Amino acid sequence: MIVAVASHGQELDSPVHAHFGRAPFFVTVNVETMEYEAIPNPAASSTTGAGAQAAQLLVRNNVQAVAAGNVGPHATSVLQKAGIRVYVAREGTVREAVEALVHGQLEQQAEATMTGDSRKRRT
């Protein structure tokens, strides 16, 4: 399985990013081999629609799962329609998020964890 983790950096030991659409990178990791690749997120600086644009990027890169701190409604919709599972990973590194996912320790997200306004997190 290939998982994409929203990240501040390009390495397995980079911190997980709190907001899916605004993450500067997605680190895609093959969970069987731990081989990884960093994909720059051109949507990170978009004024609107960053989450949906980022989700479309990952759909095109054939990931099967996503881990991020918070994912908005448009991104969640795009990912779920593509059959991509969304998991909540709010802290730690990319490596720790992948290991937690593999061991069933991440919560699968059923709905958006943020409103459409990236400044407002759902509680």
Mean pLDDT of the chain: 92
Q: Look at residue 109 in the predicted model and tell me its pLDDT.
A: 84
Q: Look at residue 110 in the predicted model and tell me its pLDDT.
A: 77
| Cα gap 83→105, rounded to integer Å | 20
> What 8-state DSSP symbol labels residue 14?
S
pLDDT tens digit sequence for 50-93 = 999 999 999 999 999 999 999 999 999 999 999 999 999 999 99
Mean pLDDT of 94-107: 97
Q: Look at residue 112 in the predicted model and tell me its pLDDT.
A: 60
Domains of the chain plus CATH, in order, are 2-37+56-108 (3.30.420.130)
Beta strands in the chain (DSSP E): 2-7, 25-30, 36-40, 65-68, 85-88, 107-108
